[in-house]
Structure 1
Amino acid sequence: MITPVLIAAAVLVAAPALAQAGVDPAHDPAKTEVWTPVPATVATPLGKAPSDAIVLFDGKDVSAWESEQGGRVPWRVADGALTVVPGSKGIRTRQRFCDVQLHVEWRTPVETKGFEGQDRGNSGIFLQERYELQVLDSYNNSTYANGQAASLYKQAMPLVNASRAPGEWQAYDIIWKAPRFSPGGGLTSPARITVLHNGVLAQDDTVLAGKTEYIGAPSYAPHGCAPIYLQEHDSKVSYRNIWVREL
């Protein structure tokens, strides 16, 4: 005599086989497998830019850059670094960018005597020439929190101060999502930024209220893709190993 218990056991044993045979699609794992499109392969050699990156500065070549006024880059190139020449103005990429992944390494001067607050190792990385990620020597250096290293200048203080000592190389890894505007010029989506400072999360999908302002509240005006800009702020800040991936 076949009991109900034996019947139930037989059904449980048979269920996987039935699913494999396509009898019951609800039990088919292939239904949740996505095979196409296949993600592009990106090589990531140790210590070098990803294979699909645009190298903006490799330690020697500054052809990707120009002075903010146009023409030759006025900063000094030596020992694999690009160093600000005080009084020379900033530099910008010749190419325009919108959404990007950006890697920048930077170093503030070793000499700090007589320099405090915003006067110590000041520079900045401007996304789309308008939105500043602050570069500053914030190692044992007091200043306003939304103006220290890894801040969105005058908008968002960093989650942490991950600064290294003056003269040591530091790194920003940035994910930038450009603002979007309607055909009529209205803001449809604000700019957003995520920043790792020396491998530590400093800005977590931060929403910007508008372009960077030294005085007054930030606001938006419609614009398109624009260069990446490095600021000259009377300090011999150095840069190296700069690359970008368009997203």
Structure 2
Amino acid sequence: MKSPLLCLITGLLLVSTATMAQKDYPTTPPEKSPMPMKPEMTEIWEPQVEVIKPGDKPGEAPSDAIVLFDGKDLDHWVSQKDTTQPSPWKIKDGYFEVIPGTGGIQTKMEFGDVQMHIEWSAPDEIENSGQGRGNSGLFFQNRYELQILDSYNNRTYSNGQAASIYKDQPPLVNAMRSPDRWNTYDVIYTAPRFKKNGDLDTPARITVLHNGVVVQNNATIHGLTLYIGLHNYPEAHGKDVIALQDHGTPVQFRNIWVRKL
């Protein structure tokens, strides 16, 4: 039979051990449930989105556009042969026309990323074939050509027909209208980016709607759109002019505007 004293000592030791265990190994409190999401937690209120006035009709310039040609003058353009001289091309009834042999024209302003609208028409009288029919070009940053060509019933190499990125990307479809009608290009152009050391970071990209039809869908531009040779980005550059090409045929242009992006 255990003595009362021994039982008391044993009990005190058990209580002490249990107390020490509680101090050395505290229990983990239960995790709290995350706060439930509310609709306003994902709403963006600031900064407010800028308000602009869109054109009243399709193709009309919105209020924040830079109108490069409104049918009246070519004040935004200069000769590429001599950039100190005005554009040598003719203005007629609300449009202007290439004068073959005078050289291309370019904007006075420089651009990078842009949204652009331009309307153009090949000569009404069909002459020649292939690259000899209604040939011009729209150059972004004075380097990357969106081809302008009368591709209505006119076979040529696919990456050289209307709405191609010249010698680079053929259009998805041929949406060309007949020579006696006007064509539209609506373009979203993203300029290339370069690293600090001059190497290419991301290439230029372009989306083009030809007469309302998507013909280039965020397509990659692989470099300078050269007539001969593989395309590449030989040097870093920033913003530059938009240019229109004189390729020897009297192509017509009207309603040209851009928005800086």
Q: Give the secondary structure class of the aligned counterpart of 1:26.
A: coil
Instruction: Flag structure 1 segments of 5+ consecutive residues without an equivalent.
Output: 1-23
Cα RMSD of the aligned pairs, angstroms, is: 1.1
State which of 93, 99, 113 in structure 1 corresponds to 2:107: 93
State which of 44, 47, 59 in structure 2 corresponds to 1:34: 44
Q: Does 1:238 align with 2:252?
A: yes
Q: Give the secondary structure class of the aligned counterpart of 2:36.
A: helix
Bigger drift between 40-49 and 144-153 goes to 40-49
Q: Does 1:66 align with 2:78?
A: yes
User: What is the rounded CA distance, in whole Å, between the counterparts of 1:225 and 1:27 in structure 2?
Assistant: 44
User: What is the rounded CA distance, in whole Å, between the counterparts of 2:106 and 2:44 in structure 1?
Assistant: 42
User: What is the rounded CA distance, in whole Å, between the counterparts of 1:186 and 1:43 in structure 2?
Assistant: 40
Bigger drift between 191-200 and 27-36 goes to 27-36
Q: What TM-score do the two structures reach when normalised by structure 1?
A: 0.88
Equivalent residue for 1:44?
A: 54
- Superposed displacement of residue 208, structure 1: 1.1
Alignment of 1:95-244 (within 5 A): 95-113=109-127, 115-220=128-233, 221-244=235-258
User: What is the rounded CA distance, in whole Å, between the counterparts of 1:228 and 1:128 in structure 2?
Assistant: 6
- Superposed displacement of residue 162, structure 1: 0.4
User: What is the rounded CA distance, in whole Å, between the counterparts of 2:116 and 2:181 in structure 1?
Assistant: 20
User: What is the rounded CA distance, in whole Å, between the counterparts of 1:43 and 1:64 in structure 2?
Assistant: 23
Instruction: Flag structure 2 segments of 5+ consecutive residues without an equivalent.
Output: 1-33
Deviation by residue 1:72-91 (Cα, 9 ceiling, x = unmatched): 21100010001000111000
- Superposed displacement of residue 227, structure 1: 0.3
- Superposed displacement of residue 152, structure 1: 0.2
- Superposed displacement of residue 61, structure 1: 1.8
Larger radius of gyration: 2
User: What is the rounded CA distance, in whole Å, between the counterparts of 1:187 and 1:216 in structure 2?
Assistant: 19
CA contact (8 A) 1:25 1:31 kept: no
Q: Which amino acid aligns with 1:90?
A: G
User: What is the rounded CA distance, in whole Å, between the counterparts of 1:141 and 1:127 in structure 2?
Assistant: 25
User: What is the rounded CA distance, in whole Å, between the counterparts of 1:217 and 1:26 in structure 2?
Assistant: 56
Bigger drift between 26-35 and 197-206 goes to 26-35
